[in-house]
A and B are shown apart, each in its own frame.
Chain A
Amino acid sequence: MGLEQKVPEGILTTTLDSVINWGRANSTWPLLFGLACCAMEMIATGTARHDIARYGSELFRASPRQADLMIVSGRVSNKMAPVIKRIYDQMSAPKWVIAMGICASAGGPFNNYAIIQGVDKIIPVDVYVPGCPPRPESLLYALDKLREKQARESISADRLSQAEEQLAIEEIIPLGA
């Protein structure tokens, strides 16, 4: 939402793209959302020593409407999966997902009845971080990778995802009712 809605049809936005991407890449706010062990390393990344603020991502938002990035930090259980999907739907586009750790990426050591084998079964993932748990440095590297991806994005392509998002919102409105 926001800026790209104001750009009328038929106008080239190549230069705008880079400006907007620059802004987005430097202020990707993660969702304040911890699942398991990996969340501890995510918190460690947020504190002074590793200082995620260098990436403009120190503002962990508790509300999905204010967050751009979901760091799935830990194993996703069958009971938690619908909740994660719901939170993801509630985030406003553009939004990105980092699967932090082997559990979120592929189930990790828990190949059993309780754990979903990778969060990509329920939401699309942009960057996978290996490790159990990944060190804070790995998470920062993942943010680097995410920036590379963000730099290639274009707001005209975002329009599509907006339409999708509208659908998702319509889907969840009856929930509140």
Chain B
Amino acid sequence: MSFIEPININSNQVIDGREIVNDLNLEFDVVVIGSGSGGAMAAKVLSDRGYKVFIAEEGPLKLTSEFKMRESKAYPELYQESAGRLTKDKGIKILQGRNVGGGTTINWTTSFKTPKRSLDWWIDRWKVSGCTTEEMLPHFAEVEKQMGISPWELPANENNEVLGRGLSKLGLSQGSISRNVVDCQNLGYCGMGCPVGAKQSTLVSLIPDAINNGATLGHHLRCEKIITKKGIAEAVVLRSMDKTCLRPSSVSIKIKAKKIILAAGAIGSPAILLRSKIDDPHKLVGKRTFVHPVCLSGAMMSEEVGAWQGAPQVIYSDHFLETRPHSGKIGFKLEAAPIHPVILASVIEMHGEKHRYVMENYPYFQVVIALLRDGFHPESIGGEVYLKDDGTPGLDYKITPYVWKGIRDAWLASAEIQFAAGAKKVWPIHREADFYNTWSEAKASINRLPLEILKAKIVSAHVMGGCAMSEDEKLGVVDSLGKHHHTDNLYVMDGSIFPTSVATNPMESILSFALKNAQALKI
């Protein structure tokens, strides 16, 4: 098996920030900050259109041949804060990518179009235009073609099968997941960087396309701020980063550009706007940041599950989204989650023999996750991006009672599904919960679990919002095409433009909106 790396690191279109020793001034048509879903798509489309594009990425450039399926390597190299980013009160663990490819290098390849219900809600409540399902369909189709998104044909791994079996037994709706892969070897290590280049992350697709079109990629380059003059964005200031990508040097690279596109992700982009003190008369920047809070339910099965192998997510259920109107209880999507030793060891938050008991049963352990649809109800307002003392960003996200109730519902639903699928024991991942032997025992106990952070384990791999789109400048930071309402030549094209959470795994939505808005951008 050999894979031809589509990026030539020796090309003069690939710049390593660490090698820049003197301040630099450059000029491009477009500078794109961030190389994940949104940034890579914007760079590809604009370079296709013949513009001179510079992509600035704070993380490292790691190639397919460097992906070794080792958590010890992948988390510090490819994730924000070594996969240990936490919300301000430490209640939610946030997983985000930090490398050329952003989240797409390490995500689980689960691909969904934006749900009609979310699009309609944005049009109706948030005054977004041009995004009815009919208007979006050609963009989804184009993204699916470019990213190799197609239905997964191989059998599901046992981790997913358990979810599917439980759903069938209970008569709950389920579907199979499309994935952005070509010649996938079904290894199950998508979260550590696909070692065979099967996953169509932007690292092996859109970024090389953009470079072939003439774009320049700079890695180890953090955007510190945007320079504006009289309400017009003129340039960005980048800092070269050290080898760990944690500490900026004093070397600054100033890039003047006709258009500046922020795509640093839904924590990174609002942070750049805040650091740059960009006009924000309605105090919207960084507010209403959503995370699809995720709670987890572990099951001990009698047969081996081996949740480390095979395509990570191939079966899902939207039953609890479809049966719950936005005005009612918070809805949630159910999926399986791949489990590797470090992730398992750290999410279970135990010590001593209890911890060891779970670890020793690792091969039999199955996990169902519920992703809650935050942002569609007055009692779910999301979190707020803020700047820490050194200017780096944080997220302050308080889980409201309305959301907590949904978390309890989700533990209940997951446990019932896992027992229906034949689980011997089920354990909602909560410090005060036990391994329950029957559904009735689980139900009674889950109903008594205290709804508190740092007791319930809550995680997120989907950060969205904080620079919402709206035609009404009182509701959104950017317009429906991603243009900043108060600063000319400044655009946002990543997960931060959504007025609520997407209510499904967001990659395809981010790619599709970036495609649409980059095509519409007038230079």
The answer to whether A and B interact is no
Measuring CB to CB, which residues of chain B are less than 8 angstroms from any residue of chain A? none
